[in-house]
Amino acid sequence: QSALTQPASVSGSPGQSITLTCTGASSDVGRYNLVSWYQQHPGKAPKLMIYEVTKRPSGVSNRFSGSKSGNTASLTISGLQAEDEADYYCSSYAGSWRVFGGGTKLTVL
Amino acid sequence: QVQLVQSGAEVKRPGASVKVSCKPSGYTFTDYYMHWLRQAPGQGLEWMGWISPNTGGTSYAQKFQGRVTMTRDTSISTFSMELTRLTNDDTATYYCAREEGSSWYAYWGQGTLVTVSS
């Protein structure tokens, strides 16, 4: 049950596109198309942004998109906005367990 | 609308136990598994385990095996998570989250801050 690996921080300018990565193993990210992404603002509960690698819940901006290649999943945010500044966490199904990444702090410059 | 309402903040001494509750509304209690996660101050999300609302069956993260017990009371439609032998490292906000499909969480409780301090 090792945690998924995410870069600690990423930054970008308004209007730019950025990609956050999430690296797991062949037993979780690589085996299942069950990766989800969460956005968390300070003091708030996490918010679901992407599920099943590429699907976007109703109400989430289409500026957010997900993908996966091998053991690495990615979240791309296009047209970066100030309100996107937050912590982002990836998660994967791993059989009886679930695993999370350590989170990436996104700073909008 | 779906809501998960958790019990209030707790302050505990090292070595004590804490029990956090989570009461869902807006859907049929037995339709969805409930998961528990926690987040230490300034740290990331950590998955603790899940419970089936139908059978009461559970699965816990290895890190918490032997210290955590997740239960449900169908008569009052409430889930609970008890953590024993608390240490300072257990200071965190504890969340319940309803699992959709097989792996994602669209609904979260508001979080319960548990502070362990002597």
Distance CA B59, CA B84 (A): 17
Distance CA B37, CA B6 (A): 13
Q: What is the share, in percent, of chain A residues with pLDDT greater than 70?
A: 99
- Residue numbers in B near A2 (CB within 8 A): none
Shortest distance between the Cα of A59 and any Cα of chain B, in A, equals 12
Place of tokens 């047209």: A79
For B62-117, how does the pLDDT look when each residue is reduced to its tens digit (9 = 90+)?
999 999 999 999 999 999 999 999 999 999 999 999 999 878 999 999 999 999 99
Check residues B102 and B51 and name the one with the higher pLDDT.
Answer: B51
For A27-47, how does the pLDDT look when each residue is reduced to its tens digit (9 = 90+)?
999 999 999 999 999 999 999
A96 in contact with B, Cβ within 8 Å: yes
How is B30-52 classified by DSSP, letter by letter?
Answer: GGS-EEEEEE-TT--EEEEEEE-
| pLDDT value of position A1 | 66
Which pLDDT band, with edges at 50, 70 and 90, does B59 fall under? very high
B76 C-beta neighbours (distance < 10 Å), count: 9
Helix (H) or strand (E) holding A2: none
Mode of pairing for the β-strands spanning B10-12 and B112-116: parallel
| pLDDT value of position A96 | 87
- Give the mean model confidence (pLDDT) for residues B52-58: 96
For A62-92, how does the pLDDT look when each residue is reduced to its tens digit (9 = 90+)?
999 999 999 999 999 999 999 999 999 999 9
Report the mean per-residue pLDDT for chain B.
96
B82 in contact with A, Cβ within 8 Å: no
For B25-42, how does the pLDDT look when each residue is reduced to its tens digit (9 = 90+)?
999 999 999 999 999 999
| pLDDT value of position A47 | 97
- Residue numbers in B near A57 (CB within 8 A): 106
Whether the pLDDT of residue B46 is over 70: the answer is yes
- Give the mean model confidence (pLDDT) for residues A46-59: 96
